[in-house]
């Protein structure tokens, strides 16, 4: 039997819709995997009551099927579903890494990404890899059809998760179908700045690169209080603020010493709107770890 801790992740980071992702040092799912004749799944932890244990309907079952390796799987959720923090991807990543180790399949971390993405396809209808890639490989990742480019980075972050539920499917429906060339030019500049910031471990550049005028404004409308919470985080010293993944979590980049005041400011602002929330003082961190 193997145990895997796979981290939550933040996809898009504003300018990198469906491409960029970052592993978060916390929270994380912890998954136990044991080879078996047929796949069975047991769920526990945050929001697990909303996740089906039927292997045909659970990301873990889809990953085990894709790897042709049935297993007894127990998932302890640290990342609640529909949070914008790659909840399903963390489970999918953990199961892919766990089955690879338990069955000694010999896949590299990068080779496991498409298998874990099969789990994502079950949940969102599309096998995008921008959450599973960082959960498996760690750091900051650039996922394209050609493969994954990974950069070790350690940018301090605050992630604020309100008690609002947004499904990825719904959040994808509001994505604009087209954009002006001027918007695309701006987005390319932001995305390039963000990549440079990750390479340099520079929170100012990463924050600048997190701005986005195409997808994020449409999604921000789905999150009550977004504009106020973003403003509060910027006033408290965030270098950039955006929607984490499909939302409702909101992510801020910052200097290490600004994490605590930013977390308080974001929580206070949500509380002022009558919305319960929790904040994680986190950073770009490691990928899935085997125990
Ligand atoms: N890139 C995806 C989206 C991630 O924003 O829809 C969500 O799983």
For 107, residues 6+ apart whose C-beta sits below 8 A from its C-beta are 100, 115
- Confidence (pLDDT) at 197: 98
For residue 130 and ligand 1, the question of a CB distance below 6 A is answered with yes
| Boundary of a domain, candidates 151, 175, 198 | 151
Q: For 70, what's the count of Cα atoms within 13 Å in the CB-facing half-sphere?
A: 7
**Same structural domain, 6 and 147:** yes
User: Ligand 1 centre and the CA of 10: distance in Å?
Assistant: 9
Which among 10, 18, 83, 93 is the best mutation to test ligand 1's pocket, defined by most ligand atoms within 8 Å of the CB?
18
How many domains does the chain contain in total? 2
Residues annotated in a binding site for ATP: 80-90
**Is 291 inside a domain boundary?**
no
CA 121 to CA 29: how far, in whole Å? 19
- Ligand 1 nearest-atom number relative to CA 175: 6
- The residues, ordered by sequence, that sit 6+ positions from 284 with a Cβ below 8 Å of its Cβ are 22, 23, 24, 25, 139, 140, 153, 154, 155, 157, 198
Asked if the interface predicted TM-score (ipTM) of this complex is over 0.90, the answer is yes
Ligand 1 centre to CA of 120 (Å) is 10
Neighbours of 257 (CB within 10 A): 9
* CATH number of the domain encompassing residue 248: 3.30.70.890
- The answer as to whether 110 is a domain residue is yes
d(C-alpha 103, C-alpha 50), whole Å: 29
Of 151, 167, 200, the one marking the end of a domain is 151
Ligand 1 pocket test, pick from 12, 81, 117 with the greatest ligand atom count within 8 Å of Cβ, gives 12
Ligand 1, atom 3: nearest CA belongs to which residue?
246
Residues 128 and 176 in one domain: no
Beta carbon of 12 within 6 Å of any ligand 1 atom: yes
Using alpha carbons, select from 131, 170, 130, 158 the residue that is nearest to residue 230.
158
Q: State which ligand 1 atom lies nearest to the alpha carbon of 246.
A: 5
Q: Would you tell me how many other CB atoms lie within 10 Å of the CB of residue 145?
A: 5
Residues 17 and 143 placed together within one structural domain of the fold: yes
Active site residues: 120, 168
Do 36 and 95 belong together in one domain? yes
Structure confidence at residue 169 (pLDDT) = 84
Kindly state whether residues 15 and 143 are assigned to the same domain: yes
The reported pTM is 0.96
Q: Is 128 a pocket residue for ligand 1 (Cβ < 6 Å)?
A: yes
Domain that holds residue 225: 156-283
87 lines ligand 1 (CB under 6 A): no
242, 16 in Cβ contact below 8 A?
A: no
pLDDT at 122: 78
d(CA 263, CA 6): 23
**pLDDT per position in the chain (291 positions), as tens?**
999 999 999 999 999 999 999 999 999 999 999 999 999 999 999 999 999 999 999 999 999 999 999 999 999 999 899 999 999 999 999 999 999 999 999 999 999 999 999 887 877 677 789 999 999 999 999 999 999 999 999 999 999 999 998 888 889 999 999 999 999 999 999 999 999 999 999 999 999 999 999 999 999 999 999 999 999 999 999 999 999 999 999 999 999 999 999 999 999 999 999 999 999 999 999 999 999
Q: Is 172 in the pocket of ligand 1 (CB under 6 A)?
A: yes
Distances (CA, A) of 37 to 93, 96, 132, 237: 21, 17, 26, 53
Do 106 and 200 sit in the same domain of this protein? no
């Amino acid at each position: 039997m193997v145990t895997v801790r796979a981290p939550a992740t933040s996809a898009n980071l504003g300018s990198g819709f469906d491409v960029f992702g970052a592993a978060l040092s916390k929270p994380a799912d912890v998954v136990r995997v044991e080879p078996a004749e047929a796949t069975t799944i047991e769920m526990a932890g945050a929001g697990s009551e909303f996740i089906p244990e039927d292997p045909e309907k659970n990301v873990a079952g889809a990953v085990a099927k894709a790897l042709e390796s049935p297993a007894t799987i127990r998932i302890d959720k640290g990342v609640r579903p529909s949070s914008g923090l790659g909840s399903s991807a963390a489970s999918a990543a953990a199961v892919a890494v766990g089955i690879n180790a338990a069955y000694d399949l010999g896949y590299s971390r990068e080779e496991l990404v498409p298998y874990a993405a099969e789990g994502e396809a079950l949940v969102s209808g599309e096998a995008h890899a921008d959450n599973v890639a960082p959960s498996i490989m760690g750091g900051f990742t650039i996922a394209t059809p050609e493969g994954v480019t990974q950069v070790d980075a350690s940018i301090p972050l605050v992630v604020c998760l309100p008690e609002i539920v947004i499904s990825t499917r719904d959040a994808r429906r509001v994505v604009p179908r087209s954009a002006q060339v001027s918007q695309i030019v701006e987005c390319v500049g932001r995305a390039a700045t963000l990549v440079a910031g990750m390479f340099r471990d520079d929170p100012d550049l990463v924050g600048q690169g997190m701005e986005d005028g195409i997808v994020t404004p449409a999604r921000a409308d789905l999150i009550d209080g977004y504009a106020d919470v973003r403003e509060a985080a910027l006033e408290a010293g965030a270098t950039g603020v955006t929607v984490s993944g499909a939302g409702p979590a909101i992510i801020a980049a910052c200097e290490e010493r600004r994490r605590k005041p930013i977390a308080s400011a974001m929580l206070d602002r949500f509380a002022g709107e009558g919305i319960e929330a929790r904040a994680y003082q986190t950073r770009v961190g490691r990928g899935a770890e085997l125990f």
